[in-house]
A and B are shown apart, each in its own frame.
Chain A
């Protein structure tokens, strides 16, 4: 076993991990942070997406020891008590979430986009979300939500 030190949602943590432990397993099974989901465990569906030093990664194919000393943000980390992120508000109000299983990954992928491009076009949103699958919405409402959040954040 090896000791992994990382910061999760602003909190420093120390956990024991094996050589093949994934970041997703650290988050879900050791820290009980359950918003990143196990959808495919092969890096194809995007439900496990988290931000690693602000960059979108698929935690199911990210080796835990490779994030030594880094900072991880999950959906829980962008929610302030009593206050939600404009992306969360927009996904709620514009029906960007149906069953909710892909939603954590979708919102983080959207945040990764808006952090570097506050005024994306529809096509840029599609491109940014191309690694995240959804089986309920047909994506239209998700893209609407991201564009609505971008508008809200500018005003």
Chain B
């Protein structure tokens, strides 16, 4: 008898959750810990003309202040295009410019008010459709559109879409707007960095992606002398994502996450807490307020999705052209990967033999969007399912029949030509119908994923 297969198994950490023993990052008690607060940009786009921390540094209770000048490698992320602290160009409202470590929250907040900040505000672009236009205000020097192999969109092409539209009985087109969504985990973003003798650091993190972030953090901190420098690494590989040296200097402790849902897949606080801990030689904790978390942490970016399908009278979708625009905010974060996954699965769990997907990752002067449950697949599924209902409407068909007619069968393939050998979409739909109390007609009940398409 197996101990687990076929058995109900309780959570390995369940008992400590219900007794309150579980220690989240904010629950770690390290004597002498300083409170971190950040000076954030009040404008969506602008240039820093003057930043003066001298008065703030002299305030009682202040142990240290960092600005861009204190960041050894001030560029991180998938591309990497995002600064830890802004040196000159502000790209979204709320972007961190400086950070203070002080003996308590009051002292940190008072010090923030003493920082002299002179910004020349510039015209921001907040709408991705505007940002794509010729002559739009530039969000970032790399351009307002993410590039892929010389194209300003990610493309997935399968078969002959133009021919499919010529052969179609009906052409159904629809546009879908998916708003941005905040993960809002119960635990806000929090980081605690504790320095040790020598170039060593312990960082307690809320990260959902420990090893990715450990690499990024080591790249930002440049702790190990003689290690591959972040910029050289970037020149060599085009990415600081896996900067794989200096790991021995950072003890990165995580795994106890108070809800993430994809909202803790980017470094948001660990770099600043770590830099302040190294500068002050004291433990530093940066816990974001709920307002900061809602306003400035990553979120699911908004989408503008247009689908045009070539459909036969029998309800078969024989071709699809899909154009998706992702509002990425000011920096790459995981946006390019999100757009790629969206494109790969743009046809949903349905076999469409001719597909042309173009996914645009568009930068705007807003906080960076990033991953959330399913990356870009969820909005693609939303648009696809609404579109299938529209097809059913147009043809006067049962929406169940449209779905079952197009559902993947064994041996068919996705738009990226991934052949599927273990398929159960038809059976899932049949089960769903039964559970919803829908009586499917006999020919739909008789369908099976293992039957070859006739």
Listed in ascending order, the chain A residues whose CB lies under 8 Å from chain B are: 32, 34-35, 37-42, 44-45, 47, 74-76, 79, 84, 87-89, 91-93, 95-104, 107, 133-136
Contact = CB atoms under 8 A, between A and B. Distances in A.
Nearest to B186: A101
Contacts of B187: 37, 39, 99, 101
B19 A135 contact: no
Given A34-B20, A40-B290, A97 B11 contact: yes
B188 to A, nearest CB: 7
Interface in B15-45: 15-20, 22-24, 26-27, 29
A97 B186 CA distance: 13
Interface of B: 10-11, 13-20, 22-24, 26-27, 29, 183-188, 256-261, 287, 289-290
16 contacts: A35-B20, A37-B186, A40-B290, A75-B19, A76-B19, A87-B18, A91-B17, A92-B11, A93-B10, A99-B187, A100-B17, A100-B22, A101-B186, A103-B17, A103-B18, A134-B186
Contact of B13 (A79, A87, A100, A102): A100
B20 A38 contact: no
A37 B17 contact: no
A91 B20 contact: no
Contacts of B289: 41
A38 B259 contact: no
A38 B11 contact: no
B258 A101 contact: yes
Contact of A32 (B11, B19, B29, B290): B29
Given A92-B11, A135-B186, A100 B23 contact: no
A99 B186 CA distance: 9
Nearest to A76: B20
A97 B188 contact: no
Q: State the 7 A-B residue pairs at the shortest beta-carbon distance, nearest first.
A: A35-B20, A100-B17, A101-B258, A75-B20, A34-B27, A40-B290, A88-B18
B26 A38 contact: yes
A92 B290 contact: no
Contact of B24 (A41, A101, A133): A101
B172 to A, nearest CB: 34
Given A39-B290, A47-B186, A103-B20, 9 more contacts: A34-B27, A37-B24, A37-B26, A37-B187, A38-B26, A84-B18, A91-B18, A101-B187, A104-B20
Given A37-B186, A135-B186, A42 B290 contact: yes
Given A37-B187, A76-B20, A104-B20, A92 B15 contact: yes
A104 B21 CA distance: 10
A98 to B, nearest CB: 8
A24 to B, nearest CB: 11
Contact of A133 (B17, B27, B186, B261): B186
Contacts of B183: 135
B397 to A, nearest CB: 33
Given A92-B18, A93-B10, A95-B11, A100 B290 contact: no
A135 B15 contact: no
A10 to B, nearest CB: 15
A35 B20 CA distance: 5
Of A44, A103, A134, the most chain B CB neighbours within 10 A belong to: A103
Contacts of A102: 186
Contact of A135 (B14, B17, B23, B185): B185
A96 B26 CA distance: 22
Contacts of A35: 20
Contacts of B18: 84, 87-89, 91-92, 96-97, 103, 107
A36 B188 CA distance: 14
Contacts of B260: 99
Contacts of A41: 289-290
A99 B18 CA distance: 11
Nearest to B28: A34
Contacts of B19: 75-76, 79, 84, 88
Nearest to B20: A35
Contacts of A87: 18
Given A40-B290, A79-B20, A91-B18, A135 B13 contact: no
Of A39, A42, A95, A96, the most chain B CB neighbours within 10 A belong to: A39
A135 B11 contact: no
Of B18, B188, B260, the most chain A CB neighbours within 10 A belong to: B18
B11 A99 contact: no
Contact of A92 (B14, B20, B257): B14
A45 B186 contact: yes
A136 B183 CA distance: 11
Contacts of A34: 20, 23, 26-27, 29
B11 A74 contact: no
A34 B258 CA distance: 14
A95 B12 CA distance: 11
